[in-house]
Amino acid sequence: MQPFEKMLQQLPVVVFQLQLLDNGLITFPYINESAFSIFEYTSTEIISDSKTVLSKIYAHDTYAIKRIIKSSLQNMHSIDFDLRLDHSKRGIIWVNISASPEKVGTATIWHGYLKDVTKEKEQFLYLVESERKYRATIENSLNGFIIGRDGAVLDANRAAIKMFGYDSLDEMKQKQRTDLFDDQSEEYQKIRRERTINGKARGEVRGIKKNGEYFPCIMFSNFFTDANGTSNTINSFIDISEEVEAKEKLTKNQQLLSQAEILAEIGSSEIDYKTGKFLWSDGFYKIHGLEPSGEEITDKISAQFLHPDDRYKIALLEEAPKKKVDHLELDSKIIRADGVEREISSYWKFTYDSEGMPLKMYGVVQDITARKEQERLLKSLNNELVSKASKLLSSNKELERFAYVASHDLQEPLRNINGALQLLKEKYKDQLDDRANEFIDYSINSSIRMKELITDLLEFSRVDNTVVEMKDIDLNEVIEEVILTLAPVIEREQGKIKIGKLPIINGVHTQIVQLFQNLIGNALKYRSKERLPYIEIKTMEEDKEWKISISDNGIGIDDRYYDKIFVIFQRLHKKYEYNGTGIGLAICKKIVENHGGSIGVTSKVGIGSSFHFTLPK
Ligand code: ADP
């Protein structure tokens, strides 16, 4: 063996000569012993039969290798490519082939070498795969990623491009750190300082969108050194606009709640049985006369505000969770931090875990001092009202008794005066002059009028609500009776009365007769001179009462007098226009009210009036 060949045999790479004959046959005129480790055939075996090597080529690569050799043959260019082989023990292995062609007669010979690159290839493929995986992860991440160097953007993922409002990576690459971040802020500078020391840092910063809008984000920033040894930064971001907004909303709501609590003089508290922690709302502090969050609350502090008279109630609160009570309501007095005594009302709710162990106690407390005072005032006002009403009632009764006694007792002297005047007139008529006789007539008329008034007053005072002789009364029969009594007037006035079906009510018979008699009598008395009287009596059934109306087509009443006419002795006419004392409607009112109803009128002057009253069913 030549020294040169000896050297070739010992090389760790496979050195070979590959010959392509013009009939397409491939042979290996030379191959060194290293071939065995790759092809599992000795160089002698390979040189005597090239199929040994060719059969080892990975099936998928045969087409590619043919193309490469063909092209090298056409251009006489060197070849350099990777090829897969089937190794019986190692499976698929990778070799790199490097060779240059040379024409030798009609044949072509490639001189070259091949080496096992499986390890490198696997490493490379692993890198490619992991790069692909990382890229896919980063591209699909909801977090934004930006790789930067010296303030410039080198790369960014889709989420970052979207987060900052850009359309493409190219557009974003034209931006600097200063365009993307409020980088002069204290927080940003802090992150940079920390990153210089620790190689990484995190914090909350403000990002700037393409349209200039700021948005809050959490930034994780790391240094990393690339393959060339250059230091880059990789920053990832989470947009926390929604969280910040929700937090602001929550804070605002809490402020509102706290204001509402203070306005309503309400406070809330929470006790965690597991941690023993007390939580008092601002309103709760205020109710106790303390500044919110002044000092940490413990059960001792909480108890010391209770008025000594009410201290025993602490035991109720302590016992409640042991007895698995659901909630507790307590009214108690407290002495505030400023020494002022207040009354509070509280509601305590207890919660338990699945094993029945107490979890928390929630409390709502309200200062009810003012309410208790409004209540006391109301009570005293009410008492005053009740006593005044009873005084009024008794003085009313006295008045009625007086009216009765007076009218009853006045009757006799009046009768005497009238008798004496009549006698005077009869016996001395001729001895007195005309003027004296006129005086006597005038006095007689006055005494007659006075008699009428006294009779009516007596009648009014007789409508006594203490007389209880209530019984069922058929109003249809009452009307019949009244019409019979009023028959001469009805006839004289040529009146017509239309009567609807009337109900049976419970009442005092004489009073109900008087009620209808007065109202129908008035309807005939206050008739229009232009038309014959027409009266209609109707009944409407309501839930708990009967509504009865007596309408006429008489002279009518101005609405200014709707109330006045029901007052005793109140009349709208002179005696010479319409006879009367002004007591009829006052009696009607008294009767209706005695029966638990009410009376009123609606009317149109010149058209007619409608008196209506209710009677309970
Ligand atoms: P009197 O008829 O004796 O005057 P009342 O108490 O019955 O007293 O009536 C009070 C006043 O109400 C009457 O003076 C009259 O002016 C008015 N009034 C009562 N009923 C009617 C009616 N049906 N139409 C018009 N006015 C009436």
Among 455, 519, 522, 592, say which to mutate for ligand 1: greatest number of ligand atoms within 8 Å of CB.
Answer: 522
Mind spelling out the 3-state secondary structure of 481-542?
A: HHHHHHHHHHHHHCCEEEECCCCEEEECHHHHHHHHHHHHHHHHHCCCCCCCCEEEEEEEEC
d(CA 206, CA 219): 9
Q: Are 28 and 15 in contact (CB under 8 A)?
A: no
In this structure, the residue with its CA closest to atom 21 of ligand 1 is 522
Closest among 344, 250, 286 to 294, alpha carbons compared? 286
Q: Report whether residue 573 contacts ligand 1, using a CB cutoff of 6 Å.
A: yes
The predicted pLDDT at position 399 comes to: 75
Among 583, 585, 590, say which to mutate for ligand 1: greatest number of ligand atoms within 8 Å of CB.
Answer: 585
Q: Give CA separation, 201 vs 194, 198, 214, in Å.
A: 6, 7, 21
Distance 106 CA to ligand 1 centre (A): 151
Distance 283 CA to ligand 1 centre (A): 65
Distance 523 CA to ligand 1 centre (A): 8
Please give the structure tokens belonging to residue 183.
């980088």
| pTM score above 0.75 | no
Q: Are 302 and 284 in contact (CB under 8 A)?
A: no
- pLDDT tens digit string along 338-392? 899 999 999 999 999 999 999 999 988 888 888 888 788 999 999 998 888 888 8
Average pLDDT over residues 491-505: 95
Judged against a pLDDT cut of 80, whether residue 302 lies above it is answered with: no
Q: Which of 31-35, 133-137, 441-445, 548-552 has the lowest mean pLDDT?
A: 133-137
Distance 582 CA to ligand 1 centre (A): 7
Q: Give CA separation, 203 vs 105, 212, 566, 606, in Å.
A: 76, 21, 86, 91
- pLDDT tens digit string along 172-199? 999 998 999 998 999 999 999 999 898 8
The helix/strand/coil state of 203 is strand
d(CA 364, CA 329): 10
Q: Report whether residue 456 contacts ligand 1, using a CB cutoff of 6 Å.
A: no
H/E run at residue 604: strand 599-604
Q: Report whether residue 552 contacts ligand 1, using a CB cutoff of 6 Å.
A: yes
The predicted pLDDT at position 373 comes to: 86
Angle between helices 369-428 and 434-462 (to 10 degrees): 140
Judged against a pLDDT cut of 90, whether residue 568 lies above it is answered with: no
Using pLDDT thresholds of 50, 70 and 90, give the confidence band for residue 550: very high
Q: Report whether residue 581 contacts ligand 1, using a CB cutoff of 6 Å.
A: yes
Choose between 242 and 296: higher pLDDT. 242
In this structure, the residue with its CA closest to atom 13 of ligand 1 is 571
Q: Are 592 and 614 in contact (CB under 8 A)?
A: yes
Torsion angle of the four alpha carbons 154, 157, 158, 164, in this order, in degrees rounded to the nearest 10: -60
The helix/strand/coil state of 239 is strand
Q: Which atom of ligand 1 is nearest to the CA of 566?
A: 6
Give the E-state strand segments of 54-151 in sequence order: 79-87, 91-104, 107-116, 144-149
The DSSP secondary structure of 267-319, one letter per residue, reads EEEEEETTTTEEEE-HHHHHHTT--TTSS---HHHHHHTB-GGGTTHHHHHHH
Residue written as token pair 């200039």: 212
Residue written as token pair 């309200």: 366
- pLDDT tens digit string along 67-84? 999 999 999 999 999 999
Judged against a pLDDT cut of 60, whether residue 467 lies above it is answered with: no
Q: Give every CB contact of residue 575 below 8 A, 6+ residues apart in sequence.
A: 449
Sign of CA dihedral 590, 591, 597, 603: negative
d(CA 411, CA 450): 9
d(CA 363, CA 266): 10
Q: Report whether residue 565 contacts ligand 1, using a CB cutoff of 6 Å.
A: yes
The predicted pLDDT at position 1 comes to: 59
Q: Give every CB contact of residue 92 below 8 A, 6+ residues apart in sequence.
A: 58, 84, 85, 86
Q: Report whether residue 566 contacts ligand 1, using a CB cutoff of 6 Å.
A: no
Q: Report whether residue 283 contacts ligand 1, using a CB cutoff of 6 Å.
A: no
Highest average pLDDT, of 101-105, 313-317, 452-456, 572-576, comes from 101-105
Judged against a pLDDT cut of 70, whether residue 293 lies above it is answered with: no
d(CA 282, CA 266): 9
The helix/strand/coil state of 249 is helix
Give the E-state strand segments of 8-162 in sequence order: 14-20, 26-31, 79-87, 91-104, 107-116, 144-149, 152-156
Distance 533 CA to ligand 1 centre (A): 15
Q: Per residue in 575-609, is it b (16+ CB within 10 Å) or e — as a string? A: eeeeebbbbbbbbbbbbbebbebebebebeeeebb
Q: Which atom of ligand 1 is nearest to the CA of 552?
A: 23
